[in-house]
Structure 1
């Protein structure tokens, strides 16, 4: 640091991060940077404190903070320890971002439902996706400076295994209004897909937890829509509970949502099988939206009386509609709203409930059966 201070150009060179003299003058106007002292020639002269403060502004901008938020952060930070409130501010910003993602996802799911009904809209959808991809590329360019931060943090990951519960405490939204079992279920679903914004899309009927636990303790039948979902269920615990696993579309060649839909529509045997399920069973639907639609219709017509329906099929028109119909039934249900879903999420939901009923036994007796 020069004894008489740095010029505005020298300041920007010391800070880096793409900062220009024009941006510095703008930060002065906004009150983010205090006005510096002047030389005899009326040039701005900056100190080490100014360098540190501008570095903080750059770092917070790269984390996604708006300039007005940055000013508020700098106002409340103790000058001798600028990192005291940083984690709290980052957590608040993170929660705000996740809330925005959830709102955007809700809108996207609604648009997907409309686009999925009309083939002519697929061209528009492709154009929108292309624009989103362009935005993604531009965003990555803007976040290039964060690579230095990631490099430093990534170097530490070899020192210990990841503590998932510790991470979830910082990233999950406030779930204190939900029961402990619901909190665990949502945490498991987030871990299954790696997307924290999923938490706001998980919906449970009022009686879902109690009804499912009672049914599991009685050794109820578990019915998955396709073999892929059945294979992901916690067979060890279910065996010890006396719960038998059945597959509705019992065809090992059916492994995707597309195949499941076609099989259910083309072969009446699966529809007839659906109407013959035992009272008090639990449905786990992760792929075929038409299966969930048929379940809702059968419940409405009082043809079946399941203890619980886990409805998480994938789809862009039928799936959101099927989930809405399920949520309008009087039974017990668990859904992930919108187009989001999948066999892993559906199986994870049931496994979480099963885990709340019985500890995992050490033996694997089911393997001999």
Structure 2
């Protein structure tokens, strides 16, 4: 364990409630949103004075075990009543006795901050608009980047425990954001190192090959340009219809096979056609190609689930959503998540 003597941590201390389900989502969400304002490396935890866990002592112990020796305790209270002026300092004294090298500092309460007054006004206006006819709701996120950031904070606060590292979790969050469904997390599967392999390919300027135009349309072209990455659609190959008809295959399957000499070491993102994924797997099995990453997310009730089950049996880096779920938006979201990570 590394002792972080100069690096502070934060505990947001709530009162707590016998109704835990009214406290925990709010406090975890609050911490997730606050974290983006904190300096890199600063950890933030929440705690409850009573009724709930973690307690102040438990959160302090967690941070201490993680190496932090300077902790700021922020009472999530409106004013300095008995709890803030007496009870909380007493709790902090007891913790200090247990950890002699742990420095605890008490921050101020919410008090009469202007932003809090605006929030009260906004709540009143929501309940009865005629009370505040001239109030401008400045709290509503209107810029696209603010809406996206808030969405990610909500997703982060509600994610279940997942067997993914930080970069992998970023991809998972983008997929959830694209689908609008937190439960999708349980269906996302990827090989160890798949995200790193995709990032490396993008940083090396390798192409992204898609099965349909809708996947390519959803890819962030500005980020692709920053990375020097080109996005190709398999269906843009010439004379696909005639060959598909002559060989009794889908156009997507024919197109993927035509691209065999170009997709080695690249990213292949399939968000529509199971037949395209099967065609790619045939090339892999034959030793003709070795993509850096397969984003396998065909959608539907015919062969989509089965094609993804076939994918997970292959020794190739992949990211997939098991079952019938998938689609162009999810495949594009996975590519965009990797591009964001590659640019960092």
- TM-score (structure 1 length as normaliser): 0.51
What is the DSSP-based 3-state SS (H/G/I as helix, E as strand, rest coil) of the residue aligned with 2:236? coil
Quote the offset at 1:170 in angstroms: 3.0
Q: Distance in 2 between matches of 1:236 and 1:191?
A: 20
Does structure 1 retain, via aligned residues, the 8 Å contact 2:17–2:23?
no
> Does 1:215 pair with 2:201?
yes
Is 1:202–2:193 an aligned residue pair? no
Q: 1:323 and 2:258 equivalent?
A: no
Q: Secondary structure at the match of 2:320?
A: strand
Structure 1 residue 269: Cα displacement: 5.0
On the 8 A contact 1:205/1:334 being kept in 2, the answer is yes
Q: Which has the higher strand share?
A: 2
State the 1:302 CA deviation: 0.8
* Structure 1 residues without counterparts, runs of 5 or longer: 1-79, 92-151, 255-262, 360-369
Measure the CA separation in 1 of the matches of 2:252 and 2:341. 37
Which residue matches 1:135? none
Question: 1 or 2, which has the higher helix percentage?
Answer: 1
Aligned pair 1:166/2:153, yes or no? yes
1:279 match: 264
Root-mean-square deviation (CA, aligned residues, Å) is 3.1
* d(CA) in 1 for partners of 2:275, 2:178: 24
Instruction: Give the Cα–Cα distance (whole angstroms) in 1 for the partners of residues 235 and 262 of structure 2.
Output: 13
1:24-75 deviations in whole A, cap 9, x for unaligned? Answer: xxxxxxxxxxxxxxxxxxxxxxxxxxxxxxxxxxxxxxxxxxxxxxxxxxxx
Mapping of residues 45-124 of structure 1, within 5 Å: 85-88=20-23
Distance 2:262 2:310 in 1: 20
Rounded to whole Å, the distance in 2 between the matches of 1:178 and 1:342 is 22
1:235 to partner: Cα distance: 1.3
Q: Secondary structure at the match of 2:288?
A: coil
CA shift at 1:90, angstroms?
A: 7.1
Give yes or no for the alignment of 1:354 onto 2:339.
yes
Matches within 5 A, 1:1-369: 85-88=20-23, 155=126, 159-161=139-141, 163-175=150-162, 177-250=163-236, 265=250, 269-359=254-344
Note if contact 1:264-1:291 (Cα within 8 Å) is conserved in structure 2: no
Q: Would the alpha carbon gap of residues 154 and 303 (structure 1) be closer, same or farther in structure 2, given more than 3 Å must change? A: farther
* Conserved 8 A contact 2:298-2:326: yes
State the secondary structure of the residue aligned to 2:189. strand
Do the aligned residues in 1 keep the contact of 2:200 with 2:342 (CA within 8 Å)? no
Report the Cα distance in structure 2 between the residues aligned to 1:279 and 1:351, rounded to whole angstroms: 20
Give a deviation string over 1:258-286, Cα, whole Å, max 9, x none. Answer: xxxxx961588525413333420110100
How many pairs align? Answer: 210
Q: Secondary structure at the match of 1:279?
A: coil
* 1:282-308 deviation line (CA, Å, top 9, x unaligned): 101001110001111110111111111
- Displacement, 1:355? 0.4
